[in-house]
Amino acid sequence: MRVAIYARVSLADGSQTPENQLRELRQWCDANGHIIVDEYVDLQSGRRNDREQFNRLFANANPMQFDTVLFWSLDRFSREGMIPTITYLQRLQTVV
């Protein structure tokens, strides 16, 4: 499976650095035989919808450059609230 990894910094306490997330996600992909086609890493708050790499992820999803998106936890993907987060997941589901 072709995987896109998304990681984002935790600005609140700094405990979730992108490096920690990426290391674990890469290991999981390797252990399960998945191919990482791209990594998207943002250093901005998850409450913002103008994150550069987040938007690049969606732009690359449209031409189906990957089969699935892997992220550390849902709050690393988005912290905009339930409805926007579900909307993002539905957008990915329709193109991936």
Report helix, strand or coil for 24: helix
The distance in angstroms from the start CA to the end CA of the chain is 12
The pLDDT of residue 63 is 87
The pLDDT of residue 52 is 95
Contact between 92 and 74 under an 8 Å Cβ cutoff? The reply is no
- pLDDT tens profile 43-92: 887 888 889 999 999 999 988 899 999 999 998 999 999 999 999 999 99
Domains identified in the chain, total number: 1
pTM to 2 decimals? 0.88
The CATH number assigned to the domain holding 17 equals 3.40.50.1390
Domain that holds residue 77: 2-95
- CA dist list (Å): 33 to 2, 21, 26, 88: 10, 18, 11, 26
